[in-house]
Amino acid sequence: MKRINFSLLLASCLSFTLLYGGNEDRAGEAGASELLINPWARSSGWGNANTASAFGIEAMHLNVAGLAYTEGTQVNFVNTSWLSGTDISINAAGLAQRLGESGGVLGVSLMSMSFGDLDITTVDNPDGGLGTFRPNYFNLGMAYSKNFSETISGGVVVKLVSQSMANVRASGVAIDAGVNYVTGENDQLKFGIALRNVGPTMQYRGNGLSDRFEDLETEKQLTINQRSNDFELPSLLNIGLSYDFYLAQNPESDELSEHRLTAAGTFTSNSFTKDQFRIGAEYAFREMFMVRGGYTYESDIESEEESRTVSAGPSFGATVEIPLGQSGSTFGIDYSYRVTRTFDGTNAIGVSLNF
């Protein structure tokens, strides 16, 4: 039965790949692009290559099936300086809770993107001086994930998307779904598929789209309400594979080695831009100290004129996981840096608590 399920999973993967194949001619047609930004420090250090091996709250961004491996309660907080030098900041928080030993895992995540204070300008006052306003993007994700067997897990995320700037606002709903397959000795081989950001179109509404003018014939004040075009969400498909190597293991001991090296790769099929290939690796010592790196590739990524992503390719990260007593609780500090073509890169630092 497990082989049949896995075959159906692979067939579905190929079908979705054909349906959501990358199309660079549609670049810029989708909105809500903040859904593509990974706010979490650990997985962003991989360059999002760990679709198959992302566990806990961070899996809600890459492949929600990994949320099912949360053992108890997990809390995460992250602050990201997006494109350092632009004053754009991203704050994210998440909570994951297992519902009993045989139950699934519930997850909640919040992401807020702030652009600071911007000057209000008009046709008559192009230099500002009329005050400021604060654009804000806000996403709320609610997830459920469950282990259906020893090898297969799956889950779903429902996200509420909100964008506001001055007196104009757009809101919508997006859905993610993912499946993980784990096999091999010590569950070393992992395979994951995730379909993300699927939902109805969004549209801006508000008083900011109206304009007042005077009718020269009647000298009356008239108001014209303009309707904005609706826009689609940036849907994509992630297909990932990872493998854990346990180094310098004592052949006479059944315990796993203190040294782990994980290699991971992900293929991202984007609906509104070029497809991407991501590779990454992570070294861990006693699961207390971890360093990682990744690289994102798409065609013409080296060209400033032809590239469709702000990323220049490389990303790096590190984690320190501190045990708290004998209960198995841990406190983690995470950091990641993503190299960007413009500005001074993207820095993220976060903390996590597992108990």
Q: Name the domain count of the chain.
A: 1
Asked whether residue 239 is domain-assigned, the answer is: yes
The answer to whether residue 209 is domain-embedded is no
Q: How far apart are CA 50 and CA 69, in angstroms?
A: 15
Q: What distance in Å separates the CA atoms of residue 238 and residue 64, rounded to the nearest whole number?
A: 11
Q: How far apart are CA 57 and CA 111, in angstroms?
A: 13
In a domain, 258, yes or no: yes
Phi, psi of 186 (to 5 degrees): 60, 25
Domain holding 194: CATH number? 2.40.160.40
Query: Does a structural domain hold residue 107?
Result: yes
pLDDT at 272: 87
Question: What average pLDDT is seen over the chain?
Answer: 88
Amino acid 1: pLDDT: 39
pTM given for the model? 0.87
Nearest Cα to Cα of residue 351 among 338, 330, 334, 336: 334
Q: Which segments in the chain show pLDDT lower than 70?
A: 1-27, 249-254
* Residue 250 confidence (pLDDT): 59
CA dist., res. 204 & res. 226, Å (int):
10
Element counts in the chain: helices (H) and strands (E): 3, 18
The span from the CA of 296 to the CA of 309, in Å, is 10
pLDDT score for 211: 78
- Size of the chain in residues: 355
Chain centroid to Cα 326, Å, comes to 33
Residue 210 counted as domain residue: no
Q: Which domain covers residue 56, as residue numbers?
A: 2-203+233-354
Contact status, residue 351 vs residue 334, Cβ threshold 8 Å: yes
Check residue 7 and give its pLDDT.
44
* Strand partners for 111: 92, 139
Examine residue 215 and state whether it is found in any structural domain, yes or no: no
- Cβ(297)–Cβ(276) under 8 Å? yes
Question: 196 exposed, middle or buried (CB, 10 Å; 0-12, 13-18, 19+)?
Answer: buried
By CB atoms closer than 10 A (0-12, 13-18, 19+), residue 62 is: buried
Chain-centre distance for alpha carbon 348 = 13
Could you tell me if residue 11 is inside a domain?
yes
DSSP 232-243: B---EEEEEEEE
- Residue identified by tokens 């810029």 is 28
What is the model's pLDDT at position 17? Answer: 45
pLDDT digits (tens, 9 = 90+) for 151-169: 999 999 999 999 998 789 9
- pLDDT computed for residue 106 by the predictor: 97
pLDDT digits (tens, 9 = 90+) for 29-76: 788 999 999 999 999 999 999 999 999 999 999 999 999 999 999 999
Cα separation, 309 vs 273, whole angstroms: 9
Chain centroid to Cα 27, Å, comes to 19
- Residue 214 inside a domain? The answer is no
| C-beta separation of 67 from 40 below 8 A | no
The residue type of 233 is: L
pLDDT at residue 259, as a whole number: 94
Could you tell me which of 208, 207, 176, 216 has the C-alpha nearest to residue 193? 176
In sequence order, the 6+-apart residues with CB closer than 8 A to the CB of 11 are none
Measured distance CA(46)–CA(278) in Å, rounded: 9
